[in-house]
Every structure is written in C-alpha cells, then in structure tokens.
Amino acid sequence: MRTVLEVKNLRKCYGSELVLDDISLAIPEHSVNVVIGASGSGKSTFMRCINLLEEIDDGQILLDGEDISAFGTNMDKVRSNIGSVFQAFNLFPHLSVLENITLAPRLVHGVSRNDAEENAMALLKRFGLAEKARGYPDLLSGGQQQRVAIIRAIATNPKLLLLDEVTSALDPVLIAEVLTLIAELKSEGMTMVIATHEMGFAKRIADHVIFLADGKIHEEGNPSEILNNPQTDRLKEFLGALHSAGRL
C-alpha cells in the first residue's frame, strides 16, 4: 500500500527541552492512526510539525515521497494538501459557515465560488448541517462548530487529515456527534492522524495506535494489542491512570 506520510528520526526542542525524540513513523494511505499519551507527551507538537506550523530540529518528513522538511519548501502548498483540525475549533468568527468552508478552496485552490459553495453545501447536507450554512459560528453548539471545522478541513480534498484532540473541549453528547463524523470519514478511506484521549473511540476506529511519552514512541501496534495487552511500564501506567479515572 502507498505511504502517504513518512516521518524519519524527527526531533523537536523548545529551548533546552526535548519535546520529540527520534520519532519515526510511516502512514499508509487510507489508514487511521491514533496517537495516545498524557498531556505534554508531545502529541500536539508532533501534529504541528507535520503541517509545518513548527520548525523541526532534526530528521525528515516526507509527504507522498516528497521531503517537505527541506529548506525552501513551499509551505503554503504543503499545508493546502493537509487538513488540520484543532481542539479549539478556530472557525473564523467573521465569516458564515459556508464562507468558512469555501475560503480555502476559493483562495488557495482556485475553485470558483459556485463550485466551492456547491461542494460545501453537499458536505454540510451529508453531515446534517445544511440549515446552518448561512449562520455564523457563534450561533452553533461546540459539536456543530467542530463538525464545521472538520468539513472545512476536508473541503479541499487533503491527502492527510490531522485531528488534534478535537473532542477535548466538548461534553459527552457533543463528542458523540463529532466521533460519528470521523468514523464516516474513515469509511470513505480518508487517511488520518488523530490525537485523542477517547480510548474507546481509539479502539473502535484505529488501524494503528501510537503511544507517546516524553516525546518518544514507547509502543505502537494494532489497537486491541496495545490497549488490552500493554508491554511497557509507561503504557501500563498510563492506561491504569485512565482506568482509575473512569475514562477506560
């Protein structure tokens, strides 16, 4: 199977603090990869390195075989091929839902307004948000905002979708509607990297689970293996903590 993203010996420091230490990873097309780990383990930084929002300190990142970490890479072009969704939604408050979704297709991908709106409406309709198209983000619930943010990220047909703790700011009912949408994207074959604390969801949706701690991959493999039969002490500790907090 084709490899969409390949990360080789990635290293990232903030000052003297080492945040990502020798991370290597290959992500095949149509695969769903879930990154788990405690807060501060480097999950978000890892995602931000992939879409070039952070400068890396060593290693290499290849998207479709092309080295996007090389000096002089056209970062706008790389980012236009990667969809990113954040914990805090980050919808543009001055634009309507439809304008939020059509902004990048029109400005970056040169799609005409008509085509962009048609495509956006089709996506909104499919995910039950069609009647919100003309509304503004502040009138939507958190779950609706996050679903719009995901639609905004996939409206440009990215090669890879990064979802960084997209349900962490939501209550359980709203979490469910966002997770349903993500499951649907999986069924369509979207290649995804998901950082999450929702272990039940990780178990259901992941093809591959990666456990990060102290900026290192301590364990990775298929979800039932990783989550039911942890090998390293760090992962046992992490899952134990989640269990006693009632999150597993």
53 binds other proteins (CB under 8 A): yes
Minimum CB distance to other proteins smaller for 77 or for 125: 77
Angle between helices 142-154 and 97-107 (to 10 degrees): 20
Minimum CB distance to other proteins smaller for 23 or for 161: 161
Q: Which of 56, 82, 194, 210 binds other proteins (CB under 8 A)?
A: 82
Q: Which of 39, 71, 114, 138 binds other proteins (CB under 8 A)?
A: 138
Minimum CB distance to other proteins smaller for 178 or for 217: 178
33 in Cβ contact with 192 (< 8 Å): yes
Q: Which of 46, 86, 201, 238 binds other proteins (CB under 8 A)?
A: 86
Minimum CB distance to other proteins smaller for 80 or for 214: 80
Within 148-167, which residues bind other proteins (CB under 8 A)?
152-153, 156
Minimum CB distance to other proteins smaller for 107 or for 122: 107
93 binds other proteins (CB under 8 A): yes
96 binds other proteins (CB under 8 A): no
DSSP string covering 21-55, please?
EEEEEEEETT-EEEEE--TTSSHHHHHHHHTTSS-
Q: Which long-range contacts (CB under 8 A, 24 or more apart) does 87-94 make?
A: 87/164, 87/165, 87/166, 87/168, 87/169, 88/169, 89/137, 89/142, 89/145, 89/146, 89/148, 89/149, 89/169, 90/149, 91/137, 91/145, 91/148, 91/149, 91/152, 92/137, 93/136, 93/137, 93/138
Alpha carbons 209 and 138: distance in angstroms, whole number: 34
Stretch that binds other proteins, among 12-20, 76-84, 188-196, 240-248 (CB under 8 A): 76-84
46 binds other proteins (CB under 8 A): no
- Which of helix, strand or coil describes residue 210? strand
Q: Which of 73, 90, 96, 119 binds other proteins (CB under 8 A)?
A: 90
- Which of helix, strand or coil describes residue 221? strand
* Binding site residues, other proteins, CB under 8 A: 51, 53, 76-77, 79-82, 84, 86, 88, 90-94, 103-104, 107-109, 138, 152-153, 156
